[in-house]
């Protein structure tokens, strides 16, 4: 029976839809879970309860309700907007966010798309979303949106570098850019024991900035730019951007967990659940930071990226290379 | 095309704290590339203007070249309205220009009419007025203690502030029946005495509020990001502040210990001990810190007042129609946002002939163009939030 | 870029994490209703029986959101008296879309027709639906809570004070009368009709006393506090009984009290005012004398039961022509007096009987409105409470205030402006007058 199923799955045309469906399922559940978690965690950190009504039990279906609401809303395109770009932008932001989920190793043999440069593909994909943001910002024909878009672009350039450098340190340590191999070469404690813990913090900070999450949310700063590129969006398109944001949190957490925290490995019972737990824990930290910190200023962020994170990650690369060459094990 | 680290344009490419870096683009003839300024309307509907203040900014990139506050969107002609309202109605009216410090406003009106009528207010009423005014001050300051970090992107302090406010609000609602527009003062005293147990509740609240203030210090004031955003931003030197008629926490943050409660005591402020906190640099950070310190001082006053409310009446028996005798009177009080003055000219009628108000927000906000010139757009939010204004108080 | 030392950042994380582990400060509103204090300004409730269409509320309202329509009605003269006109309320509406909830109308209402109710859930989708007419305003009156007691050191409100004194006086009188009745043989001179009527009247009062648990009964006592039940009982007793005594109105020749007139003129009052006040004073005295004479005669089938009149006495203050409720002079008829407190407790059912309804309706008569055609004039105990309290307050408000010359002179000498001196002197006079009346009332005429 199991053998028969294996044989069946060996067929590409059977396996492919299964993989697509699985990735889509992950994409449609985890961001929602994280979204719900953001509602609740942030609420409790702010001495309130958050959603309590939808879905009877503590508002578990709040995001579903929100989704239904967004579908009902009128989709407004401003008169001066560049209509095609405006309409396409949410898709450009959303699709790469979905694709990233295909490259994550969920278990020993659970890698939907295995690639020997998986690490860089995921990083590249996750930064494509910013193109969508830029498109949205430019096409909205709104000054606030435009400034948000420019900030987003500047932020992306500034933070892609430390992000990639920190990831490169991991790749160097593992001796491979294949995410599955990287996980396999880690202990269940991951790479955070050792010099790569600095890489973890650099990566985490850079990922927060790339996600435009507080304290690096200047591109959407609501009190300055009235939500930047999101200003003119309504209805389903707006919902797509929101979904992109939550999907981004999940995928960045998943990449970080894979690179630094041992992915699906755990002290016992290795499997995807460990990855899920790590993703949720990292998402919690992301939400925690949001509910605690004010945002930095764009120039402060830039100087922080170029003057702090880039040198640190370069130094880290150097240290890891040195240790690797002289075979001082980590 | 040559690039160089920003020397030309000076502050233009430097953040106000001197840490920013920028790049000047030059064309082949080594001229600075000309860019077009962008005019941006911040407001009247904008999340950072909390109300309908409009600031017309001219932007070069994110740098503000010019900023003009445009006021009047919420002009409700209070001064004219007051000429057609009797004194009790004026008290209900002035609740509404600065809607988070209602008791302090109505107190000013009561005082100016009493001064004109030469009326002696019972001691008990005066002490209770002080109690209420100081709690109102705490309420008002908590509002800004919460909303300022919100404008800088920290959402949580707002909720904490409202949690605290709610506890004080419960006391106020119990005493007056209102939540925002309390309408508790009357010419000659108060509307009615406190309900039994109110003083005890006020006693219990003081230590709890003190404890909560520590949370703001940990969460906001001690936060390095907050400091990075506010230190050295929007520096208002003492002399400039004075020339603009700035008052309240803004002036104190600039290092001027001016407070009507000290310099020209009204009620029984001369009988209680408190200090006027001052800042050193007059920047946004100092203004926020001054605000927190002012809450502490108010709690100190409340602590003393709680123990000193004597028994007795809270009202003077007045005729049904109160008429202030011919003449004019002026009273200045320290409202939570700064110096609030009322000037009244009476022609011995039941309404004033002229009722002029000097509200703190108006003067405080008039210093905005000075503060905003040459700052970055995000700093504009950091500066405006630390002006602690209420739009209704600007526009009246 | 200032150094991110990180300590402050971690502390901040600590604060939010600590808060997360604590229970939320919010309450789930539609499931958990807020616990609003008694002074809460939720909605304005109207007890229309108390309204005399004096229009004070509508005039004092800063944004003129109170609409009042009324018509005048001639009231048939009783026992040869002259006919009076009275305002009857046709419409009383408040536009809550305009209302700014300042509470001035509630404050100025001299007859306690307006009250704050803490109810707040009356939002509407259309703004015009926020204009609420009397029937709606009346329903809110049922949720008016008893007021809070005042903080220690507060001055007892005059309504409570007078109610308390009245209560004490009634108790003292009853005790004395019982003593007397036990000592003497019961003469029972009153006819049967007279006997039933005081009983009914007093039962209304007593029922009101016991009915304070119902919201309406608690509603109209303006500043009762923990003394609320007692106060409303006392006030109600006063109200109903004075009303029952009202048919004993007498006609006297109009005249002027020369002494008062001279005094007022000397005090600088205008001739017109002085004359009016002097006349009022004369009429009061004359009527009191006439009534005393009438009661002394006691042969006519006067339904004026003595007991109610007595109960009324403590709160009685010269109310002028405007408030005849308080007019009856105190007359001594011990038998009826004993009857009243004794029959009172077991007889709440008597309220519904025609005999009971009659005086109850009358009770609302003097200041409120005619009993005929008024659907609410069923004479239930709870409703009678209101006019009682109102009358008590009306008495207190409608003092004839003159200038206390001594104070005036003193203040003028002290350099006070003329106006202030006069105001203060008036206040002093009013204080004295009231104190005198209270003492007189408390002593139990």
Q: What is the mean pLDDT of residues B355-360?
A: 90
Question: A51: which 2 tokens?
Answer: 């959603």
CA distance C25 to chain B (A): 7
Helix axes A12-45, A235-260, angle to 10 degrees: 100
Q: In the predicted model, is pLDDT for residue B362 greater than 70?
A: yes
pLDDT recorded at residue C198: 42
Question: C89: which 2 tokens?
Answer: 């309320």
Q: Is C275 on the interface with B (CB under 8 A)?
A: no
- Give the number of beta-carbon pairs within 8 Å between B and C: 142
Q: What is the mean pLDDT of residues B132-142?
A: 92
Q: Is A289 on the interface with B (CB under 8 A)?
A: no
Considering only residues B73 and C185, tell me which one the structure prediction assigns the higher pLDDT.
B73
Which residues lie closer than 8 Å to C72 by C-beta, 6 or more apart? C85, C86, C87, C88
Question: A280: which 2 tokens?
Answer: 């949720």
pLDDT recorded at residue C186: 52
What part of C 45-74 touches B (C-beta under 8 Å)?
Answer: 60, 62
Cα separation of B183 and C102, whole Å? 6
* Cβ contacts of A288 on chain C, cutoff 8 Å: 13, 16-17
Would you place residue B301 in the very low, low, confident or very high pLDDT band (cuts 50, 70, 90)?
very high
Q: Which of C100, C104, C430 sits opposite B88 (nearest CB)?
A: C104
Q: Look over chain A and give the mean of its residue pLDDT values, rounded to a whole number.
A: 83
CA distance A294 to chain B (A): 4
pLDDT recorded at residue B24: 60
CA distance B109 to chain C (A): 16
Q: What is the mean pLDDT of residues B171-184?
A: 88
pLDDT in tens, C371-400: 343 333 333 333 333 343 444 444 444 445
Chain position carrying tokens 């009528």: B117
Q: Is B120 on the interface with C (CB under 8 A)?
A: no
CA-based nearest residue to B136, from B338, B295, B269: B295
Cα–Cα distances (Å) from C44 to A289, B170, B332, C36, C133, in that order, read 47, 21, 35, 15, 11
Would you place residue B55 in the very low, low, confident or very high pLDDT band (cuts 50, 70, 90)?
confident
Q: In the predicted model, is pLDDT for residue C349 greater than 80?
A: no
* Cβ contacts of A43 on chain C, cutoff 8 Å: 24
Cα separation of A259 and A272, whole Å? 15
Would you place residue C76 in the very low, low, confident or very high pLDDT band (cuts 50, 70, 90)?
confident
Q: Look over chain C and give the mean of its residue pLDDT values, rounded to a whole number.
A: 64
Q: In the predicted model, is pLDDT for residue B337 greater than 50?
A: yes
Q: Which of B89, B196, B323 sits opposite C148 (nearest CB)?
A: B196
Cα separation of A241 and A75, whole Å? 14
Q: In the predicted model, is pLDDT for residue C417 greater than 60?
A: yes
Q: In the predicted model, is pLDDT for residue C342 greater than 60?
A: no
Closest chain C CA to residue A215: C9
Question: C361: which 2 tokens?
Answer: 């309706």
Would you place residue C210 in the very low, low, confident or very high pLDDT band (cuts 50, 70, 90)?
very low
Q: Is C429 on the interface with B (CB under 8 A)?
A: no
pLDDT recorded at residue C438: 62
Q: Which of C1, C16, C28 sits opposite A288 (nearest CB)?
A: C16
Q: In the predicted model, is pLDDT for residue B357 greater than 70?
A: yes
Say whether C421 sits in a helix, a strand or coil. Answer: helix
pLDDT in tens, B260-280: 888 888 888 888 888 888 888
Say whether B376 sits in a helix, a strand or coil. Answer: strand
Q: What is the mean pLDDT of residues C320-332?
A: 38
pLDDT recorded at residue C437: 64
Q: What is the mean pLDDT of residues C127-149?
A: 86
pLDDT recorded at residue C378: 38
Residues of A with CB under 8 A from a CB of C: 41, 43-49, 52, 288-289, 291-293, 300, 303-304, 307-308
pLDDT recorded at residue B265: 87
Q: Which of C29, C148, C228 to mutate to test the interface with B (most CBs of B within 10 A)?
A: C148
Mean pLDDT by 10 residues, chain A (330 residues): 72 77 81 88 87 82 87 84 86 86 80 80 84 86 84 84 87 81 76 78 87 82 78 85 86 87 78 84 89 84 85 87 72
Considering only residues B386 and C182, tell me which one the structure prediction assigns the higher pLDDT.
B386
Q: Which chains touch C (3 or more CB pairs under 8 A)?
A: A, B
Question: C148: which 2 tokens?
Answer: 């809070």
Which residues lie closer than 8 Å to B22 by C-beta, 6 or more apart? A299, B5, B6, B12, B13, B14
CB contact under 8 A, A299 and B155: no
* Cβ contacts of C107 on chain B, cutoff 8 Å: 88, 191
Would you place residue B133 in the very low, low, confident or very high pLDDT band (cuts 50, 70, 90)?
very high
Phi, psi of A7 (to 5 degrees): -60, -45
* Cβ contacts of A301 on chain B, cutoff 8 Å: none
pLDDT in tens, C237-267: 333 333 333 444 455 566 677 777 777 777 7
Q: Are B117 and C420 contacting, i.e. CB atoms less than 8 angstroms apart? A: yes
Cα separation of B354 and B80, whole Å? 8
What part of B 263-322 touches C (C-beta under 8 Å)?
Answer: 309-314, 316-319
DSSP 8-state class, residue B177: S
What part of B 147-176 touches A (C-beta under 8 Å)?
Answer: 149-156, 159-160, 163
Would you place residue C295 in the very low, low, confident or very high pLDDT band (cuts 50, 70, 90)?
low
pLDDT recorded at residue A233: 87
Q: Is B257 on the interface with A (CB under 8 A)?
A: no
Considering only residues C221 and A61, tell me which one the structure prediction assigns the higher pLDDT.
A61
The CA angle B213-B216-B220, to the nearest 5 degrees, is 160
Q: Which of A144, A217, A223 sits opposite B381 (nearest CB)?
A: A223
pLDDT in tens, A35-56: 888 888 888 888 888 888 887 7
pLDDT recorded at residue C383: 38
* Cβ contacts of B155 on chain A, cutoff 8 Å: 42, 46, 290-291
Q: Look over chain B and give the mean of its residue pLDDT values, rounded to a whole number.
A: 84
CB contact under 8 A, C19 and A48: no
pLDDT recorded at residue B134: 92
Would you place residue C309 in the very low, low, confident or very high pLDDT band (cuts 50, 70, 90)?
very low
Q: Is B325 on the interface with A (CB under 8 A)?
A: no
pLDDT recorded at residue A111: 76
Q: Are A108 and A183 contacting, i.e. CB atoms less than 8 angstroms apart? A: no
Cα–Cα distances (Å) from A314 to A199, B258, C357, in that order, read 10, 53, 98
Considering only residues C364 and B390, tell me which one the structure prediction assigns the higher pLDDT.
B390
Q: What is the mean pLDDT of residues B42-46?
A: 78
The CA angle C222-C223-C229, to the nearest 5 degrees, is 90
CA distance C49 to chain B (A): 24
CA distance C135 to chain B (A): 24
Q: What is the 3-state secondary structure of chain A? A: CHHHHHHHHHCHHHHHHHHHHHHHHHHHHHHHHHHHHHHHHHHHHCCCCCCCCCCCCCCCCHHHHHHHHHHHCCCCCCCCCCHHHHHHHHHHHHHHHHHHHHHCCCCCCCCCCCCCCHHHHHHHHHHHHHHHHHHHHHHCCCHHHHHHHHHHHHHHHHHHHHHHHHHHHHHHHHCCCCHHHHHHCCCCCCCCCCCHHHHHHHHHHHHHHHCCCCCCCHHHCHHHHCCHHHCCCCHHHHHHHHHHHHHHHHHHHHHHHHHHCCCCCCCCCCCHHHHHHHHHHHHHHHHHHHHHCCCCCHHHHHHHHHHHHHHHHHHHHHHHHHHHHCCCCC
pLDDT in tens, B2-23: 333 333 333 344 444 444 445 5
pLDDT recorded at residue C325: 38
Cα–Cα distances (Å) from B83 to B354, B356, C114, C249, in that order, read 6, 10, 27, 47
Q: In the predicted model, is pLDDT for residue C222 greater than 60?
A: no
Cα separation of A248 and A207, whole Å? 9
Cα separation of B274 and B294, whole Å? 10
Q: Which of C16, C151, C426 sits opposite B194 (nearest CB)?
A: C151
Q: Say what the ipTM of the complex is.
A: 0.82
Q: Burial level of A41, CB count in 10 A (0-12/13-18/19+)?
A: buried
Beta-bridged to residue B2, according to DSSP, are B26
Instruction: Please state, for a pLDDT cut of 70, what percent of chain C lies above it.
Output: 52
Q: Which of A42, A205, A224 to mutate to test the interface with B (most CBs of B within 10 A)?
A: A224
Which residues lie closer than 8 Å to A299 by C-beta, 6 or more apart? B15, B19, B20, B21, B22, B376
């Amino acid at each position: 029976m199991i053998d028969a199923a294996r044989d069946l799955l060996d067929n590409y045309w059977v396996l492919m839809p299964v993989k697509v469906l699985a990735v889509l399922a992950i994409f449609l559940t985890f961001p929602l879970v994280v979204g719900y978690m953001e509602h609740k965690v942030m609420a409790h950190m702010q001495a309130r309860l958050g959603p309590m009504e939808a879905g009877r039990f503590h508002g578990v279906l709040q995001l579903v309700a929100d989704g239904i609401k967004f579908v009902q809303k009128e989709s407004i395109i401003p008169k001066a907007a560049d209509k095609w770009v405006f309409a396409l932008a949410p898709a450009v932001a959303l699709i790469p966010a979905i694709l990233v989920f295909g490259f994550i190793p969920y278990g020993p043999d659970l890698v939907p798309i295995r690639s020997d440069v998986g690490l860089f593909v995921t990083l590249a994909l996750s930064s494509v979303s910013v193109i969508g943001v830029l498109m949205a910002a430019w096409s909205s024909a709104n000054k606030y949106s435009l400034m948000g878009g420019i900030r987003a672009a500047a932020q992306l350039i500034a933070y892609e570098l430390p992000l990639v450098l920190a990831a490169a340190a991991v790749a160097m340590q593992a001796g491979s850019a294949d995410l599955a191999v990287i996980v396999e070469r880690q202990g269940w404690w991951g790479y955070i024991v050792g010099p790569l813990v600095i890489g973890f913090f650099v990566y985490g900070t850079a990922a927060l900035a790339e996600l435009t999450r507080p304290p690096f949310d200047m591109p959407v700063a609501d009190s300055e730019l009235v939500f930047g590129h999101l200003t003119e969006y309504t209805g389903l398109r707006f919902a797509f951007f929101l979904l992109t944001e939550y999907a981004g949190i999940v995928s960045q957490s998943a990449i970080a967990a894979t690179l630094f925290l041992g992915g699906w490995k755990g002290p016992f019972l290795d499997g995807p659940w460990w990855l899920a737990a790590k993703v949720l824990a990292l998402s919690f930290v992301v939400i925690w930071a949001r509910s605690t910190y004010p945002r930095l200023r764009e120039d402060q962020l830039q100087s922080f990226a170029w003057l702090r994170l880039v040198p640190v990650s370069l130094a880290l690369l150097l240290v890891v290379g040195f240790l690797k060459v002289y075979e001082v094990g980590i | 095309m040559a690039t160089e680290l920003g020397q030309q344009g000076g502050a233009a490419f430097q953040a106000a704290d001197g840490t920013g870096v920028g790049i000047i683009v030059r064309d082949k003839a080594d001229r600075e590339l000309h860019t077009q300024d962008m005019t941006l309307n911040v407001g009247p509907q904008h999340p950072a203007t909390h109300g309908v203040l409009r600031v017309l900014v001219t932007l070069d990139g994110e740098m503000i070249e010019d900023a003009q506050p445009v006021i009047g969107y919420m002009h409700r002609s209070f001064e004219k309205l007051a000429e057609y309202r009797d004194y009790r109605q004026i008290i209900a009216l002035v609740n509404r220009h600065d809607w988070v410090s209602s008791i302090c406003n109505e107190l000013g009106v009561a005082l100016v009419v009493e001064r004109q009528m030469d009326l002696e207010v019972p001691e008990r009423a005066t002490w209770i007025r002080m109690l209420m005014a100081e709690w109102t001050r705490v309420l008002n300051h908590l509002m800004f203690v919460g909303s300022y970090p919100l404008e800088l992107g920290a959402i949580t302090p707002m909720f904490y502030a409202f949690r605290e406010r709610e506890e004080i609000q419960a006391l106020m609602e119990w005493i007056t029946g209102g939540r925002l527009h309390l309408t508790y003062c009357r010419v000659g005293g108060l509307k009615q005495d406190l309900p039994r147990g109110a003083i005890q509740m006020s006693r219990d609240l003081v230590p709890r509020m003190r404890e909560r203030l520590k949370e703001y210090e940990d969460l906001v004031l001690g936060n390095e990001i907050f400091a990075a955003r506010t230190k050295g931003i929007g520096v208002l030197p003492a002399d400039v502040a004075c020339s603009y008629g700035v008052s309240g926490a803004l002036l104190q943050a600039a290092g001027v210990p001016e407070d009507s409660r000290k310099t020209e005591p009204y009620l029984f402020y001369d009988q209680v001990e408190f200090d006027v906190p001052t800042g050193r640099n007059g920047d946004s950070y100092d203004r926020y810190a001054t605000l927190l310190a002012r809450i502490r001082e108010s709690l100190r006053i409340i602590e003393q007042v709680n123990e000193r409310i004597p028994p007795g009446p809270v009202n003077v028996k007045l005729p049904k129609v109160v008429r202030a005798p011919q003449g004019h009177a002026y009273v200045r009080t320290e409202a939570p946002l700064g110096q609030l003055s009322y000037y009244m000219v009476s022609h011995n009628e039941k309404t004033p002939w002229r009722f002029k108000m000097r509200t703190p927000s108006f003067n405080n906000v008039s210093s905005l163009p000075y503060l905003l010139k040459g700052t970055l757009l995000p700093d504009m939010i950091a500066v405006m939030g630390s002006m602690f204004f209420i739009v209704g108080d600007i526009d009246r | 870029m200032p150094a991110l030392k990180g300590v402050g950042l971690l502390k901040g994380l600590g604060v939010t994490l600590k808060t997360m582990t604590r229970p939320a400060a919010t309450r789930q509103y539609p499931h958990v209703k807020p616990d609003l204090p008694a002074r809460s300004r939720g909605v304005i409730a109207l007890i229309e029986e108390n309204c005399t269409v004096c229009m004070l509320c509508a005039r004092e309202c800063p944004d003129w959101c109170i609409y009042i329509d009324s018509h005048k009605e001639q009231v048939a003269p009783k026992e040869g008296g002259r006919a009076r006109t009275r305002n009857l309320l046709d419409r009383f509406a408040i536009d809550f879309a305009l209302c700014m909830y300042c509470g001035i109308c509630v404050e100025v209402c001299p007859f306690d027709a307006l009250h704050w109710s803490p109810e707040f859930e009356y939002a509407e989708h259309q703004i015009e639906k926020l204009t609420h007419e009397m029937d709606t305003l009346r329903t809110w009156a049922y949720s008016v809570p008893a007021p809070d007691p005042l903080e220690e050191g507060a001055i007892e409100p005059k309504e409570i004070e007078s109610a308390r004194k009245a209560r004490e006086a009634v108790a003292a009188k009853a005790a004395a009368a019982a003593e007397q009745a036990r000592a003497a043989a019961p003469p029972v001179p009153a006819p049967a009709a007279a006997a039933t009527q005081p009983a009914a009247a007093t039962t209304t009062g007593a029922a009101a006393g016991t009915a304070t648990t119902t919201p309406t009964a608690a509603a109209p006592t303006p500043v009762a506090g923990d003394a609320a039940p007692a106060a409303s009982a006392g006030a109600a007793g006063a109200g109903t009984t004075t009303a029952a005594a009202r048919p004993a109105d007498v006609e006297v020749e109009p005249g002027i009290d020369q002494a008062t007139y001279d005094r007022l003129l000397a005090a600088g009052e205008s001739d017109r005012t002085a004359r009016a006040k002097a006349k009022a004073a004369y009429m009061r005295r004359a009527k009191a004398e006439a009534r005393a004479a009438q009661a002394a005669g006691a042969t006519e089938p006067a339904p004026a039961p003595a007991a109610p009149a007595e109960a009324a006495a403590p709160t009685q203050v010269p109310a002028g022509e405007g408030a005849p409720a308080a007019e009856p002079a105190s007359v001594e008829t011990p038998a009826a007096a004993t009857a009243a407190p004794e029959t009172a407790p077991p007889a709440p059912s008597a309220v519904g009987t025609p005999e009971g309804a009659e005086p109850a309706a009358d009770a609302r008569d003097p200041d409120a409105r005619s009993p005929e055609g008024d659907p609410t004039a069923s004479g239930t105990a709870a409703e009678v409470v209101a006019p009682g309290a109102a009358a008590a307050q009306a008495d207190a408000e409608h003092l004839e205030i003159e200038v206390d010359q001594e104070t005036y002179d003193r203040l003028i000498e002290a350099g006070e402006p003329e106006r202030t001196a006069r105001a203060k002197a008036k206040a002093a006079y009013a204080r004295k007058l009231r104190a005198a009346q209270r003492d007189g009332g408390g002593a139990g005429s």
